[in-house]
Amino acid sequence: YQHFLNDFGKNHSKSTISKLNSLYHACVRNAVYDGVIKRDFIQGTQIVYDPKRTWTIEYLSIDEIKSIVAYIVDNASHKYVSQYMILTALLTGMRPGEIGGLTWDNINFKDSTITVKRSWHDVKKQFEPLKNESSYRTISVDKWLLDIIDGLPKDDPLNRVFVNQGAVPTSTAVNKSLRKILKHLNIERSGFHFHSCRHSHVAYLLSQGIDLYAISKRLGHNDMTITAQVYAYLIDEYKAKTDEQIIKALDGLRPN
């Protein structure tokens, strides 16, 4: 099996090989449990991947997120619906399609929650089912975000929240608005786009010590393994930062 990993990994990214290895390992563990085979031959093997094909997540620093949020809030206008969508992405971690698919009945202003029920297809211009069963979820949000969104017009025939001239802004339009904001704030992120706001949301939650399971649920992932694989780079980065804190905490148990 290690020979297979060595050969397959030459031309594939870390994310691809990790997902494949996890699927195979789950099958092998079940086979061992059912008595079909005697040994877990995947245990102890090492994944091999092509660093050139490995995707590094682009995300914003805390200060950059604060700058963008402040800019959007200060310049909020019904003419720039894309900015409201960017703000929602940064503060909820929702997928672009999920944000486009929001309708007013999905928002509970009393409890400060958003229920994700459908997605909006950029090309087909229609509502679609969500990515998976776990994507159907209710997430808690900041009341002040909902107060800002509440100021948007509510006259769309389909009851959609984010509408400009009768249409949901496309990802291209949102990305154009995002690039203008980044340029205005002198934030250099050539590969940063609308979906990257979701990654920045995760990065911020990790920096605040939020549990990975809670983050996974908020993102609508099937299980925590997916979250760990997608954000392995970020998790490792913040793990290094918190290791020193862990040692200090454990040092408090040392007898005097």
Q: What is the DSSP string of 230-246?
A: HTHHHHHHHHHHHHHHH
pTM (2 decimals)? 0.75
Domains and CATH numbers, the chain: 2-53 (no CATH), 62-200 (1.10.443.10)
pLDDT for 145 beyond 80? yes
In the prediction, which pLDDT does 118 show? Answer: 97
* Residue 13: band (very low, low, confident or very high) from pLDDT cuts 50, 70, 90: confident
DSSP per position, 116-143:
E--EEETTTTEEE--SSGGG-EEEE--H
* Residue 177: band (very low, low, confident or very high) from pLDDT cuts 50, 70, 90: very high
What's the rounded Cα separation, in Å, for the pair 54 and 51?
Answer: 5
In the prediction, which pLDDT does 121 show? Answer: 94
What's the rounded Cα separation, in Å, for the pair 251 and 246?
Answer: 8
What's the rounded Cα separation, in Å, for the pair 92 and 190?
Answer: 23
Bridge partners (DSSP) of residue 120 are 127
Summarised one tens digit per residue, pLDDT across range 17-64 is 888 888 899 999 999 999 999 999 999 999 998 877 655 678 898 899
In the prediction, which pLDDT does 206 show? Answer: 86
What's the rounded Cα separation, in Å, for the pair 92 and 85?
Answer: 10
- What is the overall mean pLDDT for the chain? 90
